[in-house]
Each structure stands twice: as C-alpha cells, then as structure tokens.
Chain A
Amino acid sequence: MIIAEWKPLPELVEKLKGHTNVLVAGCATCVAECAAGGEREVETLAPLLQMALKKEGRTITVRGRTVERQCEWEFVEELAELVPHVDAIVSIACGIGIQAVAERFPDVAVYPGVNTTALAIRQEPGIWIARCAACGDCVLGETFGLCPVARCAKSLSNGPCGGTRKEGKCEVDENIDCVWFQIYERAKARGKVDQLLKVRKPKNWSNSRHGGPKRVVREDLRP
C-alpha cells in the first residue's frame, strides 16, 4: 500500500489562512490502511483543524468526506456536490489522490494534508515498513524476494556494505534490519549462497523516475 503521514498541524493552519469553508477529503484505500487518510482520520482532522484555527481567532467551517479511492475519477466525482460550497480542500489521500482532486476541481485551492512517504506493508499493528521503491526494474527474483532498493539504506545491488552490525542490523539505525543479511540468510536456507557471489550489473534506472515521468500505455484497454 501507499503510506503517508499527517503534515504538522501548524503547517496546515498556516496554509488555510484566508479560507472560511474547508473540505477535508479522505480516501478509504491505502491511506486508510495506514491510518493517515481514511474516514476515521477525516473525522479526527476536521474538528482538530477547527479548534486550531479558532484558537488563532479564525472561525471556519470544516466538513469532511471520504471517497473510496481518490485516485479514480469516478470516485473523485463524489466530491463534486460539496466543492461548490467550499473555498479550500485539504486532501489527506496520497499524492496521486491529491493531484486528482486538484485536477478535477481546478478553481478551488487544494492543499495536501499528508506527506506521502513510501510503498509499504503493515508489519505489525501500528508499524508500517517500506517494501518497494517502484524502481521500474525489479530484482526480487535475484535477491530471494527481498528488495535491496527499498530496504537497504544505500540501495546496494551488491551487498552487504561494511556497516552491517553483528545482529544483522543496519548501521543507520539499530531498529532497521540489514536486508543483505536477510538475503544471505534466505539464500543459505535454500542452499543457494553461490548465487550471491555473482556481481549484479547496474540496474536500468531509465524505467524509474530518472527516465522522466512514468507513463504506461495499453492500446488494448483504450477506448
């Protein structure tokens, strides 16, 4: 899932200067799973914003609405009935959803209420860990299903580096597992450590952000 975190409240309060009717728009998919932008978070942020602004002497109307997916036009359309009544939208969907709302409603100020941070998995309740960097050249087949791009602090293709701690933790943070240590352990369990001796060539980064904005076209699906 795409994960995100709330922006600091003072930053949002600052952005809403001059606005009197605000819509907090949530998304019930990825950001709801990571407890940043679902219905529950909309219901939390709306009164919180109202109180923070009132504390600064500003009275605004804050209403909330959560759509199933802010990254699909059909669902974004559900906001259309509310938008004529507001002068600003705080979207707490991921960056894709925020842009979709801004594109659909170009005459209303749209502010991000979250920072989109990663493609992650829920490791335990309340803990989300990045698993994919959307690099465009997947190497999971060579690294025993563990991504060194997203999970290694240095995104090393040929690891580990010299900074791995004794307990298999990363030198950057003792709470981060060294993914190359994990890759080695998994290779060892399968009796295929020799595969790791092969030097992996530089990845094709042109299929990632480095090749400009990504665009996928499937003619068979087009109208």
Chain B
Amino acid sequence: MKDADRSKNTPRIVVVYCRNAVLSVAEMLEGPYTAKEFHAFFAALPCSSKIEPSYLLKILADGADGVLVVACPEGHCRNLVGNVRAEKRINYARSLLDTAGMGAERLTLEPGENLTGKDLLELAQRRLGPLQILGPNPMGSVKKLHKKDEGTKLKPRPARAVPRAKTGRRQSALRKKVK
C-alpha cells in the first residue's frame, strides 16, 4: 500500500474475495478504490482457500487498517470445502492478531454469493464501525520492512568482535576445495 494512496484518518480496507462469490462484473474491482469514508483495495482469489495467515498478516503489517475476506457461504464452495478451510485459517490469524495486541477485529470473513462490485463496497463499508473502535493501524507509517532479503541492501554492522566458529570456517574451506 503506497503512502500516496492514504489520507490521514481515512481507514484503508483490503477486500480479498473469492472469484466464485461474485458476478463477473465485480471483477472490475481490482486495485484501489477511494470513497469518501474509506480507501478500499480489492484482490480476487480463485478460491478463498488460497488464503494463508501469512498473506493476511503481511497486509496488516504493511499498514492496512482492516482486511475483509469474502468467501462463498458454507455448502456453496465449488471446491467443496475451500471456504471452510479459509474460515479456519482466518480464525487462526485472528488469534495471532489478538496475541500481538492488534485486535482480531481487523480481520474478518464475510460469506457472499453473486455479489456485485457495489455489494463488495457495502461489505467493506460495514467494517468501518469496528475499525473505528480499534483506531488506525499502528503500522500505518511503516513500509514493507519484513520483505525477504532486504537486509542485503542495508548498511552492515561493524566487523565481528568474535571470530567465526571453527566448524563453519572448515565447512566453507571444504566447499571451496570441492569447487
């Protein structure tokens, strides 16, 4: 989420929806959408079961105030139990958010069927109340810090105070030999 897309105190909601839960016209809603009361970002999934707790936590760590996952109602999943699996993973991610003190309410699951883009926006709008109670995401000003391998771009720490462990050095030497 880019800072340019944010204005102060306007909640940022990411809506992740199952493609099978919407009418095709709703698929037009991909990317950012700015309403008067909130910014919404839409992302479609082939099935809600593709959701992983790590994705959801990353979205929140990147500064979204709330994440809404829209899945097919129980018994209506084209992949039989995709929505049931999604619900379990979301509950797990919610419990993690609670232990981190972020508030489980930042992440919710809503069932839906034959939804239009307008319906998705309405669902996102319904999240405003609970999110306003929680307040803005404390990560708001933080950019993607947990990005893989980013460390290589940063300034290194000063040289080692303690020499390397013998075993590691021996292994490196052995590898060089093999080459």
Contacts and interface: CB of A to CB of B under 8 A. Distances in A.
A64 B144 CA distance: 12
A85 B160 CA distance: 12
B88 to A, nearest CB: 9
B142 A103 contact: no
Given A44-B53, A52-B101, A103 B167 contact: yes
Contacts, number: 115
Interface in B153-179: 154-157, 160-162, 164-165, 167-168, 171-172, 175
Among B100, B147, B157, residue most surrounded by chain A Cβ atoms (within 10 Å): B100
A169 interface: no
Contacts of B58: 43, 47
Given A51-B139, A54-B142, A61-B146, 20 more contacts: A44-B52, A44-B57, A47-B60, A47-B61, A48-B61, A51-B61, A51-B97, A51-B101, A52-B101, A62-B146, A63-B146, A63-B149, A64-B146, A73-B167, A76-B168, A82-B152, A84-B156, A84-B157, A103-B165, A103-B167
Contacts of B164: 104, 106
Nearest to A73: B171
A85 B156 contact: yes
A103 B145 CA distance: 27
Interface string A81-120: 1101111000000000000000111110000000000000
Contact of B102 (A51, A74, A82): A51
Report, as a range, how many residues of chain B touch the other chain: 35 or more
Interface in A20-70: 21, 23, 40, 43-44, 46-48, 50-52, 54-56, 59-65
Given A51-B102, A63-B149, A107 B160 contact: yes
A185 interface: no
Nearest to B93: A44
B100 A55 contact: yes
A59 B142 CA distance: 8
Interface of A: 8-10, 21, 23, 40, 43-44, 46-48, 50-52, 54-56, 59-65, 73-74, 76-77, 80-82, 84-87, 103-107
Nearest to B153: A85
A9 B139 contact: no
A52 B100 contact: yes
A145 to B, nearest CB: 34
